[in-house]
Amino acid sequence: PLAPRLPPGVVYRPGFFDAAAQAALLAEIRAGLTDAPFGRPEMPRTGKPFSVEMTNRGALGWVSDRSGYRYQPRHPVTGRPWPPIPDALLSLWRALAHYPHDPQACLVNLYRGNARMGLHQDRDEEDFDAPVLSVSLGDDCLFRIGGTARGGATTSLRLASGDVLVLGGESRLAFHGVDRVYPGTGTLLGEGGGRINLTLRRVTRPS
């Protein structure tokens, strides 16, 4: 649908970042890949790999392996601290989050080929008062969001490069996922294409 009804608490800002700002953001993310390369996390217990590749920026990064999900200050393979969150993303948070502390984590998800993300809730953070901010780069995707109970009605939204979502209030614990990426719909990532999503989060309760 052209103007889907979004659940309460979701703010959608299509085209928030123009082409130049997207390119600058991507260059900053790429510059951090030496210290913090993409990896494919494993599901807790089973060790089954995610189809999405991940890395992080910021004081804390989200990781998953056989022992569970957690936030930690260093890359699990290089042992290096995660590179800093780009200034453009700190500015975005300060403008849109309506939350009086900066984000601590920026999860970088890379979708290539048939990568997708099943419906889930984000509940590994201590502070659900802070929203999650999402920035899409590269190919379009079909994003789906429902309510706070599994199995309820969902709304689908096609996200494009430069789009921003703010997930706050009631939507902070909404089930959500990425059903598919549309190859060749974005030019930003160039050779190989794909989609990158950046999510900004507050992890700990501010003291």
Position closest to ligand MD3 via CB: 197
Residue 71's DSSP bridge partners are: 62
Nearer to ligand MD3, 105 or 207 (CB): 105
Mark 168-197 with x for binding to ligand MD3 (rule: CB under 6 A) and - for no binding: ---xx-x-x-x------------------x
Is residue 144 close enough to count as binding ligand MD3 by CB under 6 A?
A: no
The Cα 40–Cα 53 span in angstroms is 5
- With tokens 């614990």, the residue in question is 173
22 contacts which partner out of Fe ion, ligand MD3, none, CB within 5 to 8 A by kind?
none
- The tokens of 94 are what? 């300060």
| E runs forming strands in the chain | 10-13, 53-57, 61-65, 68-72, 105-111, 117-120, 132-138, 141-145, 155-159, 164-167, 176-181, 195-201
Q: Does 22 bind ligand MD3 (CB under 6 A)?
A: no
Kindly give the interhelix angle for 87-96 and 19-31, rounded to the nearest 10 degrees.
120
Region near ligand MD3 per CB under 6 A, out of 31-39, 71-79, 84-92, 165-173: 165-173
Say how far apart CA 71 and CA 85 lie, in whole Å: 15
Query: By the criterion CB under 5 A, which residues form the site for Fe ion?
Result: 122
59 vs 141, beta carbon nearer ligand MD3: 141
Positions touching ligand MD3 (CB under 6 A) are 107, 109, 117, 122, 132, 134, 145, 165, 167, 171-172, 174, 176, 178, 197, 199
